[in-house]
Structure 1
Amino acid sequence: MAVSLHTRRPRIRLKFGRLLTHLVLFVGGILWMYPFLWTLGSSFKSVDGFFDEGLSIFPREFEWTNYVNAWNEASFSQYFFNTIFVTVFTVILTVIFTAMAGYVLARKEFPGKKLFLGLVALTMFLPHGYTIIPVFDIVQRLGLLDTLWSVILVQTAGGMVFNTFLFMGYFSSMQRELEDAARVDGASFHQLFWRVMLPLSGPMIATVALFTFIGTWNSFFVPLVFTLGVPELRTLAVGMFAFVGQNSTQWTYLCAGSVITLAPIIFIFVLLQSYFINGVAGAIKS
């Protein structure tokens, strides 16, 4: 009897600890999601309801026209197209360039490699405010100012270092047997990358694509600076300021625009979450 009581107590403590952990995580998750849920609910509120209902998530009356008005009155259709254009090309260029750089750094040794990687890693800690002036000057000299390609170029360059290290870690964790077999069949270094290693790096491609997609889609500073002279080239993040007037703010339209902006990110993450988890696990393991 004493033995059974002795064995039950740790089990009860374990179950209680798990229950408490799940309860804390559940409450934390609700608090974490509340701002988004409030924004989603407020996007359906009327102007009066937005102020009268306060922090309530559920609107008393649904104003479905908020989304239509936000889409039409603030030129969200044009901003949406601009954002898709910038994001798609930035993701493609970033994945291609960082995959090539990561594979070379993972498989090739050269004198001073550790020092080089350390110096490159330091650039990730430079604030954007310190580098925007020389970058702006380069873009202006290239004749790309006030174009969407300037945003694509700067966004791609900004994501090179971090994503290159992700690919380098992933390729370093992959076995060399496939490469050795391909070399026996006469494959060159470039053929090894394009035909063998890159197709096998699907999880990391999805991870980098997801990181780049989210960062580019939400980017505010770079599109603001490089499309300042042409309002028609604004992205969604910059276009949100169309709802902020000098004397008033269209809060319900602002909430509707926020939901429109966040919806593609949520969809892409749900679509690629399994690849994202596998890619991050592979990079950390190395």
Structure 2
Amino acid sequence: MLRRPRARTDQARSNRWTWPWILRRLPWWTAALLMAGGCLLWVYPFAWMVAASLKSQLEIFGSGLSLIPDSPAWENYGRAWNDAGFGQYMLNTVIVTFATVILVVLRCATAGYVLGRYSFRGRKLIMAILLITLVAPTGYTIIPVVDISMKLGLLNSLTGMVVALSGSAHVVGILLYAGYFRSIPKELQEAAILDGAGFFTIFFKVMLPMARPVTATVVLTTFLATWNAYFLPLVFTFSRPELRTLSVGMTAFVGENSTDWSGMAAAATISLLPVVVLFILMQRQFIDGIAGAVKS
């Protein structure tokens, strides 16, 4: 009589109490209620913020956790957009974010292509240095960044902000591209070389279009990081408030003796809506890019 291997039996026992197994053993309505409760815990803060943006200052503190305003105060959005200058802040944020995303994608893609497809002396050292920068706190680099920007005449400008935000390591994007490009068969590159294609032709017309899932992932992560960046934009707009981004502009609602909570909630809702819409549109490509890079 044949016996099952012990390793497989142990593995089956270890997997017996994992969450997917438990959910499969529960009735469908129980599993649905558990997942709905978990989703509610994540969605409720955002829903409360949207509800607070339609309440008055007194109603925010008097209604507690209620999500339904007594009388929707749409003027909060007008106050945030016009009086607090969030129309200009939105334009500044869009310019800085899109320029940063383009520069980061080009830089990460080219660096990842070289590190993933070519073997050269010092390649492992470069990879080690990139990995070390993952544990370096961002605050430690702000002083040299500001000093270099000041010497180049880029301080207090949107151009300097773009250069500072796109000039950081972005190690995750480089590693994602390197892993994806490494998984592409060499025969494809060799066929392009035989057809007379050069380095840049192969990269821009063959390799980069194939890395579309990774590009979507890098675009989304860079967009989120740049759109929500606070420290660098704050330093670069000290003397020019008209160049503030949305995250820095939130300080306009904080006064010396009081805080406009309803206006801040409306401004936060305005700033978060583009992020939510972009993530909904690109979530499939984001998951495919992460899975493809990890699999390789």
Q: What TM-score do the two structures reach when normalised by structure 1?
A: 0.92
Q: 1:39 deviation in Å?
A: 0.2
Map 1:99-248 onto structure 2 (within 5 A): 99-248=109-258
> Could you tell me whether the CA contact under 8 Å between 1:97 and 1:160 is conserved in 2?
no
Distance 2:22 2:48 in 1: 38
Query: Which runs of 5 or more structure 1 residues have no equivalent in the other structure?
Result: 1-10
Q: Deviations over 1:260-283 (max 9, x none)?
A: 000000111111112111111111
Q: Deviations over 1:64-115 (max 9, x none)?
A: 1111111011000110000001001000000111101100100111123223
Distance 1:13 1:206 in 2: 32
Distance 2:118 2:28 in 1: 47
Distance 1:127 1:264 in 2: 28
Distance 2:223 2:23 in 1: 44
Task: Give the aligned partner of residue 68 of structure 2.
Answer: 58
Q: Which range is displaced more, 176-185 or 196-205?
A: 176-185
User: Do structure 1's residue 80 and structure 2's residue 90 form an aligned pair?
Assistant: yes
Distance 1:182 1:13 in 2: 50
Task: Give the aligned partner of residue 13 of structure 2.
Answer: none
> Could you tell me whether the CA contact under 8 Å between 2:89 and 2:244 is conserved in 1?
yes
Q: 1:24 deviation in Å?
A: 3.1
Aligned counterpart in structure 2 of residue 49 of structure 1, from 50, 59, 66: 59
Q: 1:26 deviation in Å?
A: 2.3
Task: Give the aligned partner of residue 4 of structure 1.
Answer: none
> Could you tell me whether the CA contact under 8 Å between 1:159 and 1:212 is conserved in 2?
no
Distance 1:145 1:12 in 2: 56
> Could you tell me whether the CA contact under 8 Å between 2:76 and 2:266 is conserved in 1?
yes
Q: 1:15 deviation in Å?
A: 3.4
The 3-state SS of whatever aligns with 2:66 is: coil
User: Kindly, what percent of the aligned residue pairs are identical?
Assistant: 47
Aligned counterpart in structure 2 of residue 90 of structure 1, from 100, 115, 118: 100
Q: Deviations over 1:156-209 (max 9, x none)?
A: 022532211111111112222321211121111221101111111111111111
Distance 1:57 1:12 in 2: 33
Q: 1:18 deviation in Å?
A: 6.4
Q: Deviations over 1:102-149 (max 9, x none)?
A: 001001111232232012211121112211111111111111010011
> Could you tell me whether the CA contact under 8 Å between 2:23 and 2:31 is conserved in 1?
no
Distance 2:100 2:129 in 1: 24
Distance 2:23 2:112 in 1: 47
User: Do structure 1's residue 26 and structure 2's residue 36 form an aligned pair?
Assistant: yes
Residues matched between the structures, number: 276
The 3-state SS of whatever aligns with 1:158 is: coil
Distance 2:284 2:224 in 1: 16
> Could you tell me whether the CA contact under 8 Å between 1:151 and 1:226 is conserved in 2?
yes
Distance 1:57 1:49 in 2: 11
TM-align CA RMSD: 1.8
Distance 1:12 1:28 in 2: 16
Task: Give the aligned partner of residue 16 of structure 2.
Answer: none
- With over 3 angstroms needed to count, the CA separation of the structure-2 counterparts of 1:268 and 1:157, relative to structure 1, is same
Q: 1:23 deviation in Å?
A: 3.5
